[in-house]
Amino acid sequence: MTTTTTVIVIIVVIAIVLVAIAALMAARRRKQEQQRQQAAEVRAAATEHTETIKSSHEDLSVAESRADVARAEAERADQEAAEARRKLEMDQAVQEDRLREADRIDPDVDYRADDYEPGSGRHRTS
């Protein structure tokens, strides 16, 4: 090969390499532009979802408020039930005290017997 031919081959190789580099850069730019466009579409879809998020947030607030009210009502009901239970126990204790007092006074009732039950009316066996 002659020097001129060698120079021409080198120039052609350099030209091919430059064209390949340019093509790669153009392809890369196209891909980046497509990615930018796709990202913009995804962002637009996400922005459209904002109303759904607001609605869900409002639903959550309403549900939490209802839950708070229900918890407060349940707590009040528990307190009322506990108070009613205490009142019942006190009423029963008062009644038992009165029955025991009556049985203690009644000469026919053996309130000291092992099987004694207040108000049972069991009389002494004399």
20, part of any domain: yes
Domain total in the chain: 1
116, part of any domain: no
Read off the tokens for 120: 């049972």
Domain around 29: 3-78
Read off the tokens for 102: 């009556």
Three-state secondary structure along 26-92? HHHHHHHHHHHHHHHHHHHHHHHCHHHHHHHHHHHHHHHHHHHHHHHHHHHHHHHHHHHHHHHHHHH
State if pTM tops 0.75.
no
53, part of any domain: yes
16, part of any domain: yes
φ and ψ at residue 43, rounded to 5 degrees = -65, -40
Q: What is the pLDDT along the chain (126 residues), one digit of tens a residue?
A: 689 999 999 999 999 999 999 999 999 999 999 999 999 999 988 888 888 899 999 999 999 999 999 999 999 999 999 999 999 999 999 999 999 998 888 888 888 888 888 877 666 555
42, part of any domain: yes
